[in-house]
Amino acid sequence: MQQDEREAVLQTVLSLPTKYRELIVLYYFQDEKLEDIAGILNLNLNTVKTRLSRARAMLKEKLHSFSGGDLLGKRS
């Protein structure tokens, strides 16, 4: 990724609501396993899975809107 693309992704992650942002950070940036994240956040494993799925969908939508799909390798 180019530096400006990385910055855009980071800013998009930081713009997520806290309960989704913390999952993205723990899973993708700190390489924590889902089971470990559940323990860290004191959440049920299925809750972690659901929130991570929603966080990914939010990121995809925000990045698509932000870049016209360029960061996802697509054009609108």
Cβ-contact 58, 68 below 8 angstroms: no
Closest-CA residue to 49 (of 29, 30, 33, 72): 33
Residue 70 CB neighbours (<10 A): 14
Architecture in CATH of 3-67: Orthogonal Bundle (1.10)
The pLDDT score that the predictor gives to residue 51 is 97
pLDDT tens digits for 18-61?
999 999 999 999 999 999 999 999 999 999 999 999 999 999 99
pTM of the model: 0.77
Q: Given this model, what pLDDT does residue 76 score?
A: 38
The pLDDT of residue 2: 82
Residue 73's pLDDT band (cuts 50, 70, 90): low
Q: What is the Cα–Cα distance from 32 to 26, expressed in whole angstroms?
A: 6
- Minimal CA–CA distance to 21: which of 1, 46, 41? 41
Question: Do residues 68 and 34 make contact, with C-beta atoms less than 8 angstroms apart?
Answer: no
Domain-by-domain residue ranges, the chain? Answer: 3-67
